[in-house]
Amino acid sequence: MLFLPVILLAGVNAVQWHTLTEPRHHVDAVEASFNEDSRAAFLGWAAHHKKHYETAEERERRFQVWLSNRDYARDHNSRKRSYQLGMTSFADQTREEHQRHKGWVNQADRRQRLGTGLVNTTLSVPHSVDWREMGAVTPAKNQASCGSCWTFSVTGAVEGINAIRTGKLVSLSEQQLVDCDGHDAGCNGGLMDFGFDYILKNSGIDTENDYPYRAEQGYCNARKEGRHVVTIDGYEDVPHNNEQALMRAVARQPVSIAISAGDRDFQLYVGGIFDGPCSTELNHGVLLVGYGSEHGKDFWIVKNSWGTAWGVDNGYIRLARNIADPRGQCGVAMQPSYPVKKSSNPEPDFSGLLSSYLYTSHLAF
């Protein structure tokens, strides 16, 4: 992912130098060549990200948006900030379009949290933690145009604690939450605590493999909803606006968090420690999988649900940690929660598979 943006962001200085020093007819030729190179770069980017535009007019409009985002990224990177921008898979979208097409945490319900908030604030914690290295995190997934970010945060947290307790990393079903969790709004947003509450009341959740993601809301599959492959015993809220308590929580397991992710810099993020502009209007559910420090700058490790072609490390962002605002960078410390698991998972139920096998065998004879 990172190779292409490096090519796209190179070469502007030569054009600027010609513009300042060459006669007008040479400038025109250079600018024409630059425009051709830009269009070729755009088409290469579009092919790389499998973009398909219905009409030539739509392709041209996307090209102009892409150019604007490229110029914005170039200007940002020239300032030598602690994070870098580039031509992510969303570089043909305006900020407003990107906000509309990504998922949101349910704003109306965000303060109706249900957990108990029993984080032990006296525990000592290691200097750094990364649950990916300990086999408790599945690869970054892609919510696509469905506003289901909250489900990916929920499944990621449950996947994490299940792997820690059982030693088995099982990818769990976001689609089940989209279809079956009646308290939340599926592709129109939700709240992580309500997702945990659904799994608790349903006595478990099915696997991604059995109930795969479709990026749209449908009818709840009762048979699959009844497959309680992974269970939890409760869920707890981390004390809000307290990064030290959040560190202690994530030192034990991956933690669901809500952040503000609607700004242009977030859309085009490709690396570094993000300390850029973002509000604390929570609108996106993600998963906190660790923390660390680099060159004296502290950061959180955050798993997103925008696919592996965004961010760093195939779908992640590193958010600045221990900032002056107690709410944290982009509101990272405002609404954290996590599932509790103490019991074993149920034994696998093969009765449905056996019945299906016997039925098909009978038909064969």
Cβ neighbour number for residue 89 with a 10 Å cutoff:
19
Residue 127 falls in the annotated catalytic set: no
Residue 221 falls in the annotated catalytic set: no
- Cα 207 to Cα 230: distance, rounded to the nearest angstrom: 8
List Cα–Cα distances, 73 to 8, 49, 343, in angstroms: 10, 18, 49
Residue from 180, 283, 284, 330 carrying the catalytic annotation: 284
Report the phi/psi class of residue 167: left, alpha or beta, with left for phi > 0 and alpha for psi in -120 to 50: left
Residue from 149, 180, 278, 330 carrying the catalytic annotation: 149
Total residues belonging to the chain: 365
The values of phi and psi at residue 75, to 5°, are -60, -45
Q: Which residues are CB-neighbours of 81 under 8 A, at least 6 positions away?
A: 272, 275, 276
List Cα–Cα distances, 172 to 126, 175, 338, in angstroms: 29, 9, 16
Which of 16, 130, 167 lies closest to 78, judged by CA?
16
- Dihedral, CA atoms, 242, 251, 265, 6, nearest 10 degrees? 160
Beta bridge partners of 105: 190
Decide the pairing of beta strands 316-320 and 269-274.
parallel
Question: Are residues 235 and 339 in contact, defined by beta-carbon separation less than 8 angstroms?
Answer: yes
- Cα 343 to Cα 162: distance, rounded to the nearest angstrom: 10
- Cα 143 to Cα 157: distance, rounded to the nearest angstrom: 16
Residue 149 falls in the annotated catalytic set: yes
- Cα 26 to Cα 354: distance, rounded to the nearest angstrom: 76
Question: Are residues 326 and 241 in contact, defined by beta-carbon separation less than 8 angstroms?
Answer: yes
The values of phi and psi at residue 317, to 5°, are -135, 145
Residue from 69, 106, 283, 304 carrying the catalytic annotation: 304
- Matching residue, tokens 């289901």: 148
The one-letter amino acid code at 217 reads Q
Catalytic residues: 149, 284, 304
